[in-house]
Structure 1
Amino acid sequence: MARLHPYNFVHVLLPQLAWRRPLSVRRELSDPYLAKELLHYVWDKAAENVAPVDRVPPKGLRLSWHEVAGRVTALFHLPAPQATMEAHFSALVYEEDDEPAETEAEETRPRYFTLEATLGLSGPAGTPTTVSEWAGDVHRQLGRGPAGGRSNTAEAFLEVLATVLGPLPDTRVPFMRIVRS
């Protein structure tokens, strides 16, 4: 069973924050100093209703930015999981470019994915994982993920996300030429 502190951070607070204020959170995460402050603040908030003995230090908690299938992606490196449903990584995938929305109501919520530890034996190949997506209150498992706890786990997770996301839709207006006869 997942420890409450990392579970609250990954499955409750981080997605809620990103969905409530998509543009503001993206701007804050884009600034290295603000990103560190925000992550540690949210990590501490996730521990508020957790007994002190059950709190987990934020060892390894950090953020890196990537382009995945043409989309800007914030990858959260998390403290090592120790139970099922604790995540190795989570990711906010922004479907739109940097153009700001006219109003907060028009802001597009980023997609939120996790690479979670699952039941199974760890071995030289790593630990078993599953890739999941949160969409509001719905937690959907997308299938087996890359082995966790390896040096290439982050890159392998991003490759899986690229496959899940697929190419960006072509939104260009087709060129049309009118020919008179």
Structure 2
Amino acid sequence: MLVPQLAGRRPAAVRRELADPALARELLLYMWEKAAEGLPPAEHVPSRGLRLTWHEVAGRAVALLHLPAPQASTEAHFGALVYEPEEEDYPDEDEADDEDQEDDNDEAADDAPAVGLGAPGPADAAAADAPRPRYFLLEATLGRSSDEAGTPTAVGEWRGEHYRQLGRGPAAGRPDTAANFLKALAQVLGPLPGAGVPYMRIAR
């Protein structure tokens, strides 16, 4: 939940940091370590494999988070922040956003390191109304995969405090899992209105 909390509170700042490889690495490590706070040491998972790549999916910029291998069902193989073109906005965002609700993740966002996520400056204040990205996950699930060479998954989305599962995802543990997850996102997102962008087009 920390990723969508941070990206939702300061969307423009987070996007700028994720576009810089060094700052993106620092931010990802911060979020990974912050998410593990309060867990017994035996449950801490090393950050090996944690990285970020950028893609274009159905006309949108997508920051794909490559996560350490999940240790249990509902943990994620990948996360994806999907940014609409700047002139676009997100429907139902006000309904999903509860400004009065404070939790540990909100406090974590306020305490984030000085990589563009500390006290907001003039640029961040001017970008306060920037569209918020959508956040998708490719989660490990129980059961049998339709592909014998991989493990079963599900695609889910967080909108504010609201989660919804979107159905079965591509088999995990395969060289093409990331690409197939992006294809699944393209189907969910659909084409941009009037943009003439084929919704299955994925450019790395």
TM-score tier by shorter-chain length is 0.7 to 0.9
Cα displacement (A) at 1:105: 3.8
Contact 1:73/1:94, CA 8 A, preserved across alignment: yes
Alignment correspondent of 1:65: 54
Does residue 106 in structure 1 map to residue 129 in structure 2?
yes
Mapping 1:1-181, distance limit 5 Å: 12-97=1-86, 103-121=126-144, 124-170=148-194
Q: Deviations over 1:42-83 (max 9, x none)?
A: 111111211112111001100000000000000000001121
Q: Which amino acid in 2 is paired with 1:35?
A: A
The number of residue pairs the alignment matches comes to 160
Distance 1:78 1:166 in 2: 25
Structure ranking higher on relative contact order (CA contacts 8 Å, 6+ apart): 2
Q: Which amino acid in 2 is paired with 1:32?
A: P
Contact 2:155/2:165, CA 8 A, preserved across alignment: yes
Alignment correspondent of 2:106: none
Cα displacement (A) at 1:101: 9.2
Cα displacement (A) at 1:98: 9.2
Cα displacement (A) at 1:102: 8.2
Q: Which amino acid in 2 is paired with 1:77?
A: H
Cα displacement (A) at 1:121: 4.0
Contact 2:75/2:140, CA 8 A, preserved across alignment: yes
CA RMSD of aligned residues (A): 2.1
Segments of 5+ residues of structure 2 without an aligned counterpart are 89-122, 196-204
Contact 1:72/1:97, CA 8 A, preserved across alignment: no
Alignment correspondent of 1:7: none
Contact 1:92/1:110, CA 8 A, preserved across alignment: yes
Distance 2:63 2:38 in 1: 27
Cα displacement (A) at 1:29: 0.3
* TM-score calculated relative to the size of structure 2: 0.73
Q: Are residues 98 and 29 of structure 1, via their aligned partners in 2, closer, same or farther at CA, if it must alter by over 3 Å?
A: farther
Distance 1:133 1:33 in 2: 27
Larger Rg: 1
* TM-score calculated relative to the size of structure 1: 0.82
Q: Are residues 102 and 82 of structure 1, via their aligned partners in 2, closer, same or farther at CA, if it must alter by over 3 Å?
A: closer
Cα displacement (A) at 1:165: 0.3
Distance 1:111 1:91 in 2: 8
Q: Deviations over 1:26-53 (max 9, x none)?
A: 0000000000011001111111211112
Segments of 5+ residues of structure 1 without an aligned counterpart are 1-11, 172-181
Aligned identity (percent) is 64
